[in-house]
Structure 1
Amino acid sequence: MSEAIMSMPPTPRLWLLGQCTLELGAEPVELCHNGQRLLAFMGLRGRVCRTVLAGTLWPEATEEHARGSLRTALWKLPRTEPALIGRCGEALVVSPALRVDVHELTSTALGVLKGCEPSVCEQPTLGDLTGDELLPGWDENWVLVERERVRQLRLHALDALAEVLTRQGQTALALEAAWASVRREPLRESANRAVVSAHLAEGNVHEAIRHYQVFRRLLQEELGVEPTPLFSGMLPVHRTDPCV
């Protein structure tokens, strides 16, 4: 059994949050530029028609040249068993063995958003929901769409995690989750409501009012609007005026 374990191929892992990196076991593997783009796109989508893939990655080339560039990029990928990208008819599919960090983040975030209340020991940490953005510096349209999807998913998950922690009485951790969301998007009202909710749960009414006032001024200066009635209704009306 020990020999069988030793002979198992290293688990391939693809990092897309931050710099695009492929690891086989613990060793990073050098990829050419087109190899990075190919693995990143396939890692995000999982299964793609060859024509769609070629046209997306090489949009300015003719179909013939785009498909030729795709064949070259596939040929230059590291040889693994099973292959990182396999063929299923006219589609290309990612190997089930390839672990992609974005999917792990997505799974964690969706678990929080489903509304279940896990035990303290099962609670995801802030590190599970924060970190680098998706492929920073890449400006292709398909990356921009996926980057915004991941950004929104993170923000919603952080807001939800703050709410769960507040209900569980873990207000200090709730504030950390809420502030992580606020730092990413200061004008996001739901994140700022989560901060106020945690303060109120602790009985720190003054802190809650002060945070509301700071957010209200920021919203007025940046967008010229007021917080929603849902937010202002969390605090006594006569205590939320910025002059108080």
Structure 2
Amino acid sequence: MGFELDLCSPIRLRNGQRVVGDEEVRGRRTRLALAYLVLERGRAVPTHELAAVLWSEGPPPSWPSSVREVISRVRRVLDRLGGEASIVTKDRCLCVTLPADTSVDVEQLVDGRDHAGAGMTTSDGTPGRRFLPGEVGPWVEGWRARIEEAHRNLVTADGRAALERGDAAAAVGMGRLMLQQDPDDDAAADLLMRGLAALGHRAEALRTYERHRRRLADELGIDPSPVLQALHLELLGAGAHVPSTSRTQPPPGRSGPAPVVAAPTDLVLDAEAVATALGIDSCLPLLGRAGVLRRVSEALEEGHPVVVTGESRSGKTRLLAELMADERMSTSYVRCGLHGTTRVDVAGRARTTVHGAGPRTWLVDDVQWIDDRTHQLVLDAVRSGVRVVATACRDEPTRVLTDFLGELHRSATVRTVELEPISADVMASIVPACGDADHRAQALHLSGGNVGYLIDLLREPGDPHGPPPESIRTIASSRIDRLPEDAKRLLDVAAVAGDSFLLSQVAPAAGQCAPDDWYPPADALVDHGLLRVVDPAEGLLAFRHPVVRRVVLHEIGPLMAHRHRARLDATNAPPTIHLDRQRVSNGRPTAVS
């Protein structure tokens, strides 16, 4: 049996009885390089091309040595796998050699060879394992688009099969699921309408068509497909016959790389679609934020733009979801920093909202990543009387954010609301039935007052001394990768030192011997929300979220942790006094000069 490589998270590589798990592929760039070289095997990949994929924002000046380090880690992974797996380097190019019968999960799915979905779907048909979660860039997004298209084809095929075997209820469920994932999908509307008609719910099938037609007309200015229009006319007739779906949908298969269009932002006019797209559970209570929500609502009533700031996963997007659920408000949602495929003229839709009779409140999420076009559109909206609530992540400091907030303050009187960490009492109120008391206490401590981390820790308790949940590892690793190198070194040693530490003891062990060298990397770690200052006079720092310390320890591994511990011990050991001669005075040895 050949190699079996699962590149969707969690990564799993198998060669017969030999298995390499996700925990053995250390570092996000190692995973990304492994995936790229495997999926691009069969050709020589220039090292500068791999560098452009590993650093989508632009390779660092020292990228050649950094790429060599990443490749050495990929080689070690393939060595553990054994067999014929190898990386050949020649003329500054790389090529992965694998057995001819190697199977790769994502290739099987997009080629239509794996009709079980390569483990990419859950029991309810929703997308399951994700391809390189947390990564961005044209190559990653292109593969994700192909995987999503293959997933839609898979669900469509299952829905057609359900109709053919007479299971109309299953077809209805799949049609609704597809419309949730892509509300503009004619094929999903077609499947849902046929399933409803087969169940005898002809009126609901007609209402589904009308909602779909209006959505396409209002947001895209187009009509449904001719096949869907024909189905609608047939359903309008007495005793309408629902035709087979086989002539409306192509069989699942590889359709080539999906086009990747730069889409820095996306404007969504449907609150339900936003909640589905972002994975927001609108039933989850807005814990500890009632006062914040009240201040935001009061500022909006007074006509002031509002900026809500807080650390990552502190509940900013959940707050916006609460505003969207308020039926008294007519809202639009703008998500900054998205990249991928798009079929929507975002700018055109936004101008329609500003100048037409569209929603009068804009909820703009993650403005630290706002692009120039959306920057100007939001300012135009404020000047046109549109109410705006913007969220900004305070541990993602960017020049873009500074420029945007400066212009927003010059355009209007802005109200700023800070989301502080949730208190232990409030957080404890949501976990009375989750695990035993010790587990709850540990989760509360590790989360450091962050609701998102707390929920992840409760959902995946795991080993207290093992790797933290993958969702937390992905977020923390992404933030750490953006740090300067000296800050990364300081963070590695700090993780070995403990949840809290003295800068004067840790910085020298990280190679920053002069006191003037201690503070820039420490300031960078505080600015990025990884550390907090406990006592500035003493130089006492602590991890803002102790679970991030576990992420760092998992990434550096036990051998490097032991090395850092030895440096800490050596740097902070008390000085040794060497006595050349001694004499005894009152029974005690005394040094003689």
Both structures adopt the same fold (TM-score exceeding 0.5) = yes
Q: Counterpart in 2 of 1:106?
A: 110
1:42 is the counterpart of 2:45: no
Higher CA-based Rg:
2
Q: Residues of 2 paired with 1:190 and 1:156: CA distance?
A: 10
Q: Percent identity?
A: 18
Equivalent residue, structure 1, for 2:26: 31
Residue in structure 1 matched with residue 122 of structure 2 by the alignment: 127
Aligned pairs for 1:90-239 (under 5 A) are 91-93=94-96, 95-96=98-99, 100-106=104-110, 109-110=112-113, 127=122, 130-236=127-233, 239=236
Higher RCO, Cα 8 Å, sep 6+:
1
Q: CA deviation at 1:189?
A: 0.8
Find the aligned partners of 1:208 and 1:14 in 2 and give their Cα distance: 40
CA contact (8 A) 2:29 2:54 kept: no
Could you give the per-residue CA deviations for residues 134-185 of structure 1, whole angstroms, max 9, x where no partner exists? 3233112211111111112212222232122212222222223222221210
Q: Secondary structure at the match of 2:96?
A: strand
Distance 1:124 1:104, change over 3 A: closer
TM-score using structure 2 length: 0.32
What amino acid is aligned across from residue 82 of structure 1 in structure 2?
G
Secondary structure (helix, strand or coil) at the match of 2:29 reads helix
Q: Do 2:117 and 2:154's aligned partners in 1 also have CA atoms closer than 8 Å?
A: no
Do 2:42 and 2:96's aligned partners in 1 also have CA atoms closer than 8 Å? Answer: yes
Query: Could you tell me the TM-score, scaled by structure 1's length?
Result: 0.69
Q: Is the 8 Å Cα contact of residues 51 and 67 (structure 1) preserved in structure 2?
A: no
Distance 1:124 1:232, change over 3 A: farther
* Alignment partners' CA distance in 2, 1:124 and 1:26: 17
The structure in which a higher percent of residues are helix is: 1
1:4-83 equivalence runs, <5 A = 13-17=5-9, 21-22=11-12, 24=19, 28-51=23-46, 53-57=49-53, 60=58, 68-77=65-74, 78=77, 79-80=79-80, 81-82=82-83
Deviation, 1:231, is 0.8
Deviation string 1:19-77 (CA, Å, 9 cap, x unpaired) is x6456356731412331221121243343413165354357559x96554443222223
User: Aligned-pair RMSD on alpha carbons?
Assistant: 3.8
How big is the shift at 1:92? 1.7
Q: What number of residue pairs does the alignment pair up?
A: 218
Q: Alignment partner of 2:95: what SS?
A: strand
Residue 107 of structure 2 aligns with an amino acid whose one-letter code is: H
Structure 2 unmatched ranges of 5 or more: 14-18, 238-593
Q: Is the 8 A contact 2:84 2:98 kept in 1?
A: yes
> Structure 2 CA distance, aligned partners of 1:151 and 1:237?
31
Output the CA distance in 2 between the equivalents of 1:44 and 1:67. Answer: 22
Gaps of 5+ in 1: 1-10, 113-121
Aligned partners of 2:85 and 2:97 also within 8 Å? yes
